[in-house]
A and B are shown apart, each in its own frame.
Chain A
Amino acid sequence: MLRYILRRLAWSVPTLLLVTFLVYLALRIGTDPVESYKRVNPRASRAKIQQYIDINGLDPNFVQGYIKWLKNFITGEWAPSIKGRREVWPALKDAMANTLRLGTAATVVGIFFGLIAGVLAALRPGGRRDVFINTSAFVGISIPPFISAILLQLLFAVYWQRWFGESLFPTSGVYPAGHTGFDLFLMLKFMALPTIIVAIQIIATYSRYMRSSLLDVMNSDYMRTARSKGISERRILIKHGMRNALIPVVTIAALDVGSIVGGLIITENIFAYPGMGLYFLKSFGDGDFPLLMPWMVVIVASILLFNLIADISYAWLDPRIRLE
């Protein structure tokens, strides 16, 4: 197992190199970073432009350029953003922290309630409760987040203010403008609406995964064996049913979490929530190569990492799978 993990980690290095090279190519061909720089800084001197080209590895030769970029990236010689000459790492770090906070909260809430709803639905397939949960899940999936977000903003901010004098939840940002330092309660208040929006999607998706997975398991022969043992319904459900039904669900969850690191673009955009998604939208809009490349590296690395976690959890939950 340990050897497998080490080997996978070792393999992720060439994978990362290859994928970042492809991303580098795509950005260079698709956005022309040098032009973007000139556009944002119209009065930049020749020397300044050359300096920008050097530190970002934007040489005419793509391979040489990539190697140069890679060297600077690894040694920490990161170029500042083209707009406002901000340092990239602090911006990226904040965006990651914000997205992870929102993503984790929404995932924990969403998967918890999603699994419960899925199990309740599967216990009596076709029953009234099943129909209700299925319909709700369908509605939850079909309402696009920007619509549900606007509805919630209207309810908790606009109307709440009209009815009770002040809004219950703020509708944008992480803290009020000008706030400094850490304030958990304030932060939770700001996170509430975006968390609900993302969690609704997750609940809807996972209740369906869990329902169909559990229904599959419930009809299997070993469940009949379990029933013929005379053990309690509860034990049959948990030890035999859920234990098996969770195997595919956990694997999907690990992969999903990996992609959440990429940001919850729509939700972050609506709530002006400064996470990875918003970071990407802004820097892509500006053609800000120095901001974009490290973002890409983080995304690729997290997808690789969570793929590994998915495989490990699969093997851990299912003794039939051996990691070689």
Chain B
Amino acid sequence: MTEKVLEIRDLHVTFDTPSGPLEAVRGIDLDVEAGELLGVVGESGSGKSVSFLATMGLLPARVRVTGSVLLAGEQLIGASNKYMRSVRGRLLSMIFQDPLSALNPVHRIGDQISEMLQSHQSLSSRDAAKRAMELLDIVGIPQPSDRARQYPHEFSGGMRQRVIIAIAIANNPKVLIADEPTTALDVTVQAQILEVIERVQDRFGTAVVLITHDLGVIARVADRVNVMYAGRNVEQGTIDNLFDHPSHPYTRGLLASLPRPGKQRLKPITGFPPNMVKPPRGCAFHPRCDFAADICKSEMPNLVSYGNLQTACVRARELPKSERFV
């Protein structure tokens, strides 16, 4: 049994919006095991970013967050700002989608890495600068000593994302949350960045949460997958089990819409993601589900074991066996 570094239980996040309270995350359960690469997929607006911003304590104070997030056994929900500051960047790091704007344009690259080091370790400026260069080398930036003295605008998008990864792993965190780290980059660069992330995971035993809406990316690098829909998790399992026989109709839909060799036509999921101010009652997926029955409109399904997967579908046992996607 592997050690759980991050345990999220019944996480709820509610925003106040002009059109009323918006519950973006509606009871998420999720574990991250030490050193694993967990993929988190779901359509736009399914609450992926918000769940992990809440975990990091990066949502504005007026946003309501309830539930439990244990990081190495310590409760983060409701923890003091001071404690959260000591966690962020030390035990838990997060990198964001757009590398072009995520670095401060007026500070040198080396200084931005050193800042991360020095805020959690007592290092002299010189030692921090030296360590910053090592980190640049680790994420595959050539001539680190020259590059450290440059500014973000002198770096390409892919190189900037490498720098951001270097910052995120500077203090060797237990968990690295990567929120769509490759979406803004072109395909060849995407592959390189994924390699860097995998290398970091291998070399330092960092657990990685990779948020994406690209199941292809997940298939390439993840150990386990967590599928989200409308602020809930609908299916969890190892990559093999999930791709082998997905059981939740939404997961099936996602997989069926993947381009695969030998398949001419893609089958996208029909309909649109729900409006989160007023999500559908019962299973939020029922307006778009091919298997929906009356019971789906009244009962909100929770994750239960189904075969080798955890699935949140009231009709899981009655559904036809899915085709294989491997």
Tally chain B residues at the interface, Cβ within 8 Å: 28
Q: In the complex where A229-B167, A230-B89, A232-B85 touch, is A222 in contact with B104 (Cβ < 8 A)?
A: yes
Query: With an 8 A cutoff between CB atoms, is A285 at the interface?
Result: no
Query: With an 8 A cutoff between CB atoms, is B44 at the interface?
Result: no
Query: With an 8 A cutoff between CB atoms, is A68 at the interface?
Result: no
Query: With an 8 A cutoff between CB atoms, is B98 at the interface?
Result: yes
Q: In the complex where A221-B96, A228-B89, A231-B115 touch, is A240 in contact with B120 (Cβ < 8 A)?
A: no
Query: With an 8 A cutoff between CB atoms, is A320 at the interface?
Result: yes
Query: Would you list which residues of chain A between 214 and 232 have a CB under 8 Å from chain B?
Result: 220-222, 224-232
Query: Would you list which residues of chain B between 72 and 92 have a CB under 8 Å from chain A?
Result: 84-90
Instruction: Decide: A224 and B151 in contact? CB cutoff 8 A.
Output: no
Across-interface contacts of B98 in A (CB, < 8 A): 221
Query: With an 8 A cutoff between CB atoms, is B101 at the interface?
Result: yes
A-contact bits for B32-66, CB 8 A (1 contact / 0 none): 00000000000000000000000010100000000
B219 → chain A closest CB, angstroms: 28
Instruction: Decide: A230 and B88 in contact? CB cutoff 8 A.
Output: yes
Pick the contact of B167 from A225, A232, A247 — CB < 8 Å?
A: A225
Instruction: Decide: A225 and B106 in contact? CB cutoff 8 A.
Output: no
Q: In the complex where A225-B96, A229-B116, A231-B115 touch, is A320 in contact with B89 (Cβ < 8 A)?
A: no
Across-interface contacts of B107 in A (CB, < 8 A): 239, 243
Instruction: Decide: A225 and B104 in contact? CB cutoff 8 A.
Output: yes
Query: With an 8 A cutoff between CB atoms, is A317 at the interface?
Result: yes
A222 → chain B closest CB, angstroms: 4
In the complex, which range does the number of interface residues on chain A fall in? 20 to 34
A-contact bits for B231-264, CB 8 A (1 contact / 0 none): 0000000000000000000000000000000000
Across-interface contacts of B84 in A (CB, < 8 A): 230
Alpha-carbon distance between A122 and B295 when the two chains are bound, in angstroms: 51
Instruction: Decide: A244 and B101 in contact? CB cutoff 8 A.
Output: no
Alpha-carbon distance between A192 and B303 when the two chains are bound, in angstroms: 73
Q: In the complex where A225-B164, A228-B89, A228-B93 touch, is A317 in contact with B106 (Cβ < 8 A)?
A: yes
A-contact bits for B143-155, CB 8 A (1 contact / 0 none): 0000000010100
Instruction: Decide: A230 and B115 in contact? CB cutoff 8 A.
Output: no
Query: With an 8 A cutoff between CB atoms, is B293 at the interface?
Result: no
Query: With an 8 A cutoff between CB atoms, is B133 at the interface?
Result: no
Query: With an 8 A cutoff between CB atoms, is A319 at the interface?
Result: yes
Instruction: Decide: A318 and B106 in contact? CB cutoff 8 A.
Output: yes
Alpha-carbon distance between A319 and B150 when the two chains are bound, in angstroms: 9
B-contact bits for A199-242, CB 8 A (1 contact / 0 none): 00000000000000000000011101111111110010001100
Alpha-carbon distance between A244 and B101 when the two chains are bound, in angstroms: 13
Alpha-carbon distance between A222 and B86 when the two chains are bound, in angstroms: 19
Alpha-carbon distance between A271 and B47 when the two chains are bound, in angstroms: 63
Q: In the complex where A227-B58, A229-B116, A230-B86 touch, is A244 in contact with B153 (Cβ < 8 A)?
A: no
Alpha-carbon distance between A61 and B104 when the two chains are bound, in angstroms: 59
Instruction: Decide: B58 and A228 in contact? CB cutoff 8 A.
Output: yes
Across-interface contacts of B116 in A (CB, < 8 A): 229
Across-interface contacts of A317 in B (CB, < 8 A): 106
A243 → chain B closest CB, angstroms: 6
Across-interface contacts of B87 in A (CB, < 8 A): 230
Query: Would you list which residues of chain A between 62 and 112 have a CB under 8 Å from chain B?
Result: none
Pick the contact of A320 from B85, B88, B119, B151 — CB < 8 Å?
A: B151
Alpha-carbon distance between A229 and B169 when the two chains are bound, in angstroms: 11
B121 → chain A closest CB, angstroms: 12
Alpha-carbon distance between A228 and B167 when the two chains are bound, in angstroms: 10
B147 → chain A closest CB, angstroms: 14
Across-interface contacts of A239 in B (CB, < 8 A): 107, 115
B120 → chain A closest CB, angstroms: 7
Alpha-carbon distance between A317 and B56 when the two chains are bound, in angstroms: 32
Across-interface contacts of A220 in B (CB, < 8 A): 101
Across-interface contacts of A226 in B (CB, < 8 A): 104
Pick the contact of B119 from A221, A224, A229 — CB < 8 Å?
A: A229
Alpha-carbon distance between A222 and B119 when the two chains are bound, in angstroms: 17
Q: Which residue of B lies closest to A320 (CB)?
A: B153
Instruction: Decide: B105 and A319 in contact? CB cutoff 8 A.
Output: yes
Query: With an 8 A cutoff between CB atoms, is B210 at the interface?
Result: no
Query: With an 8 A cutoff between CB atoms, is B300 at the interface?
Result: no
B-contact bits for A160-173, CB 8 A (1 contact / 0 none): 00000000000000
Instruction: Decide: B167 and A243 in contact? CB cutoff 8 A.
Output: no
Q: In the complex where A228-B58, A229-B167 touch, is A221 in contact with B89 (Cβ < 8 A)?
A: no
Alpha-carbon distance between A243 and B103 when the two chains are bound, in angstroms: 14
B207 → chain A closest CB, angstroms: 17
Query: With an 8 A cutoff between CB atoms, is B197 at the interface?
Result: no
Instruction: Decide: A244 and B96 in contact? CB cutoff 8 A.
Output: no
B96 → chain A closest CB, angstroms: 6
Alpha-carbon distance between A243 and B115 when the two chains are bound, in angstroms: 15
Across-interface contacts of A235 in B (CB, < 8 A): 119
Q: Return the 6 tightest CB-CB contacts between A and B, nearest first.
A: A230-B88, A230-B89, A221-B101, A319-B151, A222-B104, A229-B89
A-B contact pairs, 24 of them (CB 8 A): A220-B101, A221-B96, A221-B98, A221-B101, A221-B102, A222-B101, A222-B104, A224-B96, A224-B102, A225-B96, A225-B104, A229-B89, A229-B115, A230-B85, A230-B87, A230-B89, A231-B89, A231-B115, A235-B119, A239-B107, A243-B106, A244-B104, A244-B105, A319-B106
Additional 12 contacts, C-beta under 8 A, given A231-B115, A232-B85? A220-B101, A221-B96, A222-B103, A225-B104, A228-B94, A229-B89, A230-B86, A239-B115, A243-B106, A244-B104, A244-B105, A244-B106
